């Protein structure tokens, strides 16, 4: 493209990458989707790099695909032909961390766990805790409104986002939100950008709410169940009893077997599900109540941690889940979300779809907020999932909607779920969302074809 030298000249040396092997490595996320061929990669290090890139892209009508660490599971960062892949992974500054105000200002390339560790040096924590927290970035979490293991108590990324610095498609810089907990001046533009998957603007910094870290170590419960449905019933009982777990995670037999085959965790033959729950140290009554409710709902074995090391060991089992399933084959990873009361029914629907279509589905769930991650596993080397996998996925999505749920809780729509959007959104919602897109990105250069 004749205009590319102008971009190279406008940015500092080394920012524009054009080697095909390098650009290809930036072209995909964690999905099986086949990416387009990027024109180049811009490895931004500053907000000005982003401004320059978007001004150039607007002038020359070139699509731009923002990208963080590439850990997405919906195809949101998949390159399109002729695009600039705008990598934000080098923007890693924590610009500010204020213990007095309990906020941090972080750039999009900051690793999620690194921000949490920085906050804990001051007795604080960053609450959102996706399973990929050691490799995913703040920018990617913002783009999909990620949740994670602690979301049952502390909410998702939007609940910890006070304000944003955003570069719009034409290169203008927009500052949204505030540094205060309260604030209702104007429309909630911060909430609009969180979860927008890079289709409305490129986030270059976020003002994030920190919270007081618990003074005492958490108590963790691991309960084994003879059926997945029984584990779902235990979750419903825990919620109904008014317990306030800081973590409530569910794993089915397929997931546990994948972990056991890899790490030899001593899985017994009769165990069909495991529930891992956690109560913060200042609420020991919740821990004992959750253990009792698990037993009352059919748990054959319940372990309660007595040391921080035991807690880490139990949580570590949950964090192994996705990697263990990747060892079994290619994965279509989904994340339907239903009302918590509908969790047992949704679990049953997933099991029926797996049997009906002869598909291996391994399910984990952020059970405390009804967010399930059924992973459809198929043979490696195929360009996409076979028809029986798509048929099972279709049934699972429709079941979630019938139960009052949603197609995606935290992974985003990306490319993978666009075929089902009409089932949930409807024509009026679709028209309004396209109108919003037109306001912020009239040339449709920002992550085209994604999210809506």
Distances (CA, A) of 202 to 142, 221, 295, 413: 10, 40, 48, 17
First to last CA, the chain: 29
Cα dihedral 251, 257, 261, 266, rounded to 10, equals 80
Q: Please tell me the chain's helix, strand, coil percentages from 3-state DSSP, rounded to the nearest 5.
A: 40, 20, 40
Per-residue pLDDT band for 1 (boundaries 50, 70, 90) equals low
* Residue 345 near residue 309, CB atoms below 8 Å: no
Specify the pLDDT at position 341: 85
Which pLDDT band holds residue 314 (cuts at 50, 70, 90)? confident
In order of their start, the domains of the chain are 3-87 (3.30.43.10), 94-212 (3.30.465.10), 216-320 (3.30.70.2190)
The pLDDT value recorded for residue 283 is: 67
* Mean pLDDT over each residue of the chain, to the nearest integer: 94
Mean pLDDT of 313-331: 90
pLDDT tens-digit readout, 223-271: 999 998 899 899 989 988 989 899 999 999 999 999 999 999 999 999 9
SS3 (DSSP) at 357: helix
5 phi, psi to nearest 5 deg: -55, -30
CA dihedral 195, 368, 372, 65 (to 10 degrees): 20
Quick count: other Cβ atoms within 10 Å of Cβ 320?
18
How far, in Å, CA of 320 to CA of 131, rounded? 9
Q: Which percentage of the chain shows pLDDT scores above 90? A: 80
64 forms beta bridges with 84, 446
Distance of CA 117 to the CA centre of its chain: 19
- Residue 343's contacts (CB-CB under 8 Å, 6 or more residues apart) are 232, 235, 236, 365, 367, 370, 372
pTM of this structure: 0.93
């Amino acid at each position: 493209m004749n205009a590319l030298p102008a971009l190279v000249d406008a940015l500092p040396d080394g920012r524009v990458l054009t080697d095909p092997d390098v650009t290809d490595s930036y072209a995909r996320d964690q999905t099986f989707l086949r990416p387009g061929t990027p024109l180049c990669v811009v490895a931004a290090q500053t907000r000005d790099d982003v401004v320059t890139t978007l001004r150039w892209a607007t002038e020359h009508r070139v699509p731009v695909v923002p990208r963080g660490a590439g850990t997405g599971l919906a195809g949101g960062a998949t390159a399109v032909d002729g695009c600039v892949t705008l990598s934000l992974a080098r923007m890693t500054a924590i610009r500010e961390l204020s213990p007095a105000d309990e906020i941090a200002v972080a750039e999009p390339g900051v690793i999620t766990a690194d921000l949490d560790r920085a906050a804990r040096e001051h007795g604080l924590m960053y609450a959102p805790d996706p399973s990929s927290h050691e490799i995913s970035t703040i920018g990617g979490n913002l783009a999909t409104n990620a949740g994670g293991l602690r979301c049952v108590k502390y909410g998702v990324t939007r609940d910890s986002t006070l304000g944003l610095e955003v570069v719009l498609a034409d290169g203008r810089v927009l500052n949204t939100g505030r540094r205060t907990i309260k604030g209702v001046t104007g429309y909630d533009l911060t909430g609009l950008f969180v979860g927008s998957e890079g289709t409305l603007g490129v986030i270059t910094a976020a003002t994030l709410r920190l919270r007081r870290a618990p003074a005492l170590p958490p108590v963790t419960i691991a309960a084994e169940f003879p059926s997945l449905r029984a584990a779902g019933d235990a979750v419903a009982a825990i919620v109904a009893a008014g317990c306030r777990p800081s973590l409530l995670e569910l794993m089915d037999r397929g997931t546990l077997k994948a972990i056991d085959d890899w790490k030899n965790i001593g899985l017994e033959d009769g165990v069909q599900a495991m529930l891992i729950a956690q109560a913060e140290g200042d609420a020991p009554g919740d821990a004992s109540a959750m253990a009792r409710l698990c037993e009352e709902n059919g748990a054959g074995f319940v372990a309660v941690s007595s040391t921080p090391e035991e807690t880490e060991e139990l949580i570590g089992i949950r964090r192994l889940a996705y990697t263990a399933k990747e060892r079994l084959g290619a994965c279509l990873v989904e994340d339907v979300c239903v009302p918590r009361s509908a969790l047992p029914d949704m679990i049953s629907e997933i099991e029926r779809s797996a049997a009906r279509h002869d598909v291996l589905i391994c399910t984990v769930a952020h059970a405390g907020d009804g967010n399930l991650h059924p992973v459809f596993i198929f043979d490696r080397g195929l360009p996409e999932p076979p028809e029986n996998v798509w048929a099972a996925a279709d049934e699972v999505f429709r079941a979630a909607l019938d139960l009052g749920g949603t197609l995606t809780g935290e992974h985003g729509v990306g490319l993978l779920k666009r075929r089902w959007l009409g089932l949930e959104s409807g024509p009026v919602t679709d028209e309004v969302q396209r109108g919003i897109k037109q306001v912020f990105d009239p040339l449709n250069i920002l992550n085209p074809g994604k999210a809506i």
